[in-house]
Structures are given as C-alpha cells and as structure tokens.
C-alpha cells in the first residue's frame, strides 16, 4: 500500500475539520431554540445536545475521511482536529464575547474535539484496514 505523505492530505484534513465545525455551528445557531432548547447564546458548549451534535458530526467526518484515505494511518485525524480547533477559536472570538474564561473554553472545547475526532479517525482506520484485506 502506498504511504501518503506531504502537505496536501494534511491541508485537506484541516479544511474538512474547519468546514465541518463551521457548518455545525451555523446549524446550531439557526436551530438553537427549537433543536437545542438554548437559553444562552448559540455555542456548542452551551448545550449538551449541541455538544453531542458537534462532536458527532466531527466524529463522522473524521471516520469517513480516514476510511476513504489511501493510508490506514489516522494522520488525517490530527489535521482535522487542528482545523476544527482553529475554526472554534475564530467563531468564539468573531461571533461571541469570549469573556474572561475563554482559555477554559478553548481548552475544554479543544479536548472534546480532540477526543471525538481521534476516536473517529481510529474507527475509520479500522475500516480502512479491514477493507484492504
């Protein structure tokens, strides 16, 4: 099996992670009151349902990206995670008042993104290995 290296797969993963996070945030903002019973402003950490929705979308995107890759290594997971984290930070600072606790928000959101995306990448890698046999 050919090993994928270089910057292009990482850039693709970065763009996928950022796009999925922004799309999830846009859907949450649009349906904040009817889907998520939001009392506070739309942000994925302000509702348990929104957390599950965002992390679920990122898990699926990571699993599909890794499963469809030509290499079974979950390298794309880290790129997707970094893209989602940068998008999270941009959305936090551009669309919201981050407040004084923004380091905690970035840290806890980053850990949640990391765990969900890497778990999806592991699942996608397992699918990729099983498909290659």
Q: Using 50, 70 and 90 to split pLDDT, how confident is the model at 33?
A: confident
Asked if the model's pLDDT at residue 133 lies above 60, the reply is: yes
Q: What is the pLDDT of residues 18-27, one digit of tens each?
A: 999 999 999 9
Q: String of b and e for 73-84 (b: at least 16 CB within 10 Å)?
A: ebbbbbbbbbbb
Q: Is residue 1 part of a domain?
A: no
- Residue 42: count other Cβ atoms within 10 Å of its Cβ: 21
Eight-class DSSP state of 98? -
Token couple for 7: 């910057």
**Residue at 3 is within a domain:** no
pLDDT above 70 (res 56):
yes
Q: Do 35 and 49 contact (CB within 8 A), yes or no?
A: yes
Of the two residues 81 and 47, the one the predictor is more confident about is 81
110 found inside a domain: yes
Kindly state the average pLDDT of the residues 76-99: 88
- The domain in which residue 45 lies consists of 13-132
Return the SS3 of 50: helix
pLDDT on residue 74: 53
Based on the structure, what is the number of domains in the chain? Answer: 1
Residue 18 placed within a domain? yes
The arithmetic mean of pLDDT across residues 90-110, rounded, is 87
């Amino acid at each position: 099996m050919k090993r994928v290296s270089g910057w292009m797969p990482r850039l693709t993963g970065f763009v996928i992670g950022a796009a999925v996070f922004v799309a999830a945030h846009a859907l949450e903002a649009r349906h904040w009151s009817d889907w998520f019973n939001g009392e506070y402003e739309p942000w994925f950490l302000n509702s348990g349902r929104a957390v599950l929705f965002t992390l679920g979308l990122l898990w699926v995107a990571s699993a599909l990206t890794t499963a469809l890759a030509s290499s079974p290594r979950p390298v794309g997971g880290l790129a997707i995670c970094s893209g989602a984290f940068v998008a999270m930070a941009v959305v936090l600072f551009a669309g919201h008042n981050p407040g004084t606790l923004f380091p905690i928000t970035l840290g806890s959101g980053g850990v949640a993104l990391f765990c969900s995306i890497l778990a999806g990448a592991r699942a996608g890698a397992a699918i990729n290995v099983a498909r290659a046999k």
